[in-house]
Amino acid sequence: MRKFAMVLQNVQDSGAETQMITASNKFGSIVGLRGRASWFFRVSALAVLITVFLHALPVCMAGDLHMQVQLVWGTDGAPPSGSKYKPLEPQFKNKLARVFKWKNYFLIHEQKVVIAGQDDEKRLKLSSKCEIELKRIDDSTLQIKLFGEGRWTKTVRQSVQALEKGELAVLAGDDKDNYADAWFVVISVPKH
């Protein structure tokens, strides 16, 4: 307590700014704040760095993207007799029915695919007339190219985060044999 009083008296007597800074440093040392403040600052800075690192980690370590690709036929009629077409699962049918007009949706073909990271590319044959190419452009974007009868017809880009949240990527077109029907390529990320 005696040192504290002397430091304050020196500051009052001299009035010099430099001695005031020295006095405040001495005051911090006397009370023990200087060491504690330094420790608190280091711990706070470390906590901020750890938080930033943990939030950036998923972006830096974007892993494999597991997807399900389905070729679907939409119609108001029944499937052709003798066909092996199955009704589409209700979770997908309900999402399609909210946007499209058909009463029935049948699964023609289904494939599972894994895109291993940025610039990984896979080409899938869904039928004799329909192929798609999937490519991960970056951690957040999937590029989908559609090929009909061997010719490139369309390219779309889809948010990976949207797929992972349960949204569907849907490419669709009219059935050339029956304009009242349609086909769909439905891409989704299955829930684990």
State mean pLDDT over 46-74.
74
Bridge partners (DSSP) listed for residue 125 = 131
Name the pTM for this structure. Answer: 0.66
Q: How confident is the model at residue 24 (pLDDT cuts 50, 70, 90)?
A: very low
Distance separating alpha carbons of residues 139 and 165, to the nearest angstrom: 15
Q: What is the pLDDT of residue 168?
A: 95
Identify which has the larger pLDDT, 11 or 158. 158
The tens digit of pLDDT for each residue in 114-126 reads 999 888 999 999 9
User: Dmax of the chain from CA atoms?
Assistant: 106
pLDDT of residue 182: 93
Predicted pLDDT at 133 = 97
Q: Beta strands 86-87 and 141-148: pairing type?
A: unpaired
Rounded Cα gap, residues 186 and 95, in angstroms:
11
Residue with tokens 């470390």: 46
Query: Does residue 108 have a pLDDT over 90?
Result: yes
Least Cα distance to 136 among 124, 121, 155 occurs for: 121
- In angstroms, rounded to a whole number, what is the distance separating the alpha carbons of residues 157 and 176? 25
Q: How far apart are CA 190 and CA 111, in angstroms?
A: 12
Question: What does pLDDT average to over the chain?
Answer: 80
